[in-house]
């Protein structure tokens, strides 16, 4: 029972996070990019490319959250040791790698277009390293899930 409560609480938190990310994508980032373009007219040409890359990066976060919510559903039902669960783990890995690519594209564009603030570049570099690191961790976790699934199938065959 405590596991079920934890899974439900985590799913609720992830849904809230999904709503916050959607609000950022649809309202906050477009508004903020407009304000920055008005206050810094010499860098206004960066508005649309950086806005597009930001929305794309947050879309990767959306995909990761949705895949995690789906995996929590498998966990709640006790069905996580299945081939279907592997697809959602693959989705998380793809979202992490795609997010890293978006961070790389953003830092490359920013460096070539205009210098930009060093803290922003550092955050993007941390996003690249963190995304690749988390993807590698998820690849290891996926291999453990494959091994556990195989063992479970073999044990079911023996019993």
Q: pLDDT by residue (tens digit) across 97-117?
A: 999 999 999 999 888 877 667
pLDDT at 132: 98
Q: What are the residue boundaries of the structural domains of the chain, listed by start?
A: 2-158
Q: What is the pLDDT of residues 8-50, one digit of tens each?
A: 999 999 999 999 999 999 999 999 988 888 888 887 888 888 8
pLDDT at 50: 87
CB 36 within 8 A of CB 47: yes
pLDDT at 82: 84
Q: What is the DSSP letter of 78?
A: T
Which residue, among 150, 145, 137, 13, has the nearest Cα to 68 in the 3D structure?
13
d(CA 116, CA 135): 28
Q: What is the DSSP letter of 81?
A: S
d(CA 128, CA 100): 4
Q: What is the pLDDT of residues 121-148, one digit of tens each?
A: 899 999 999 999 999 999 999 999 999 8
Question: pTM, whole model, 2 decimals?
Answer: 0.88
Sequence length of the chain is 159
């Amino acid at each position: 029972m405590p596991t079920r409560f934890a899974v439900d609480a985590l799913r609720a938190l992830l849904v809230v996070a999904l709503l916050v990310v959607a609000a950022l994508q649809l309202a906050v980032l477009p508004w903020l990019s407009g304000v920055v373009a008005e206050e810094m007219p010499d860098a206004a040409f960066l508005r649309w490319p950086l806005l597009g890359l930001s929305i794309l990066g947050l879309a990767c976060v959306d995909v990761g959250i949705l895949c995690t919510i789906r995996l929590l559903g498998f966990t709640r039902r006790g069905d996580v040791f299945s081939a279907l669960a592997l697809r959602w783990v693959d989705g998380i890995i793809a979202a992490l790698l795609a997010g890293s690519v978006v961070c790389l594209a953003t830092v490359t564009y920013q460096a070539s277009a205009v210098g930009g603030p060093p803290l922003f570049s550092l955050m993007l570099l941390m996003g690249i390293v963190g995304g690749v690191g988390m993807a590698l961790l998820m690849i290891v976790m996926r291999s453990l899930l494959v091994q556990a699934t195989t063992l479970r199938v073999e044990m079911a065959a023996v019993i």
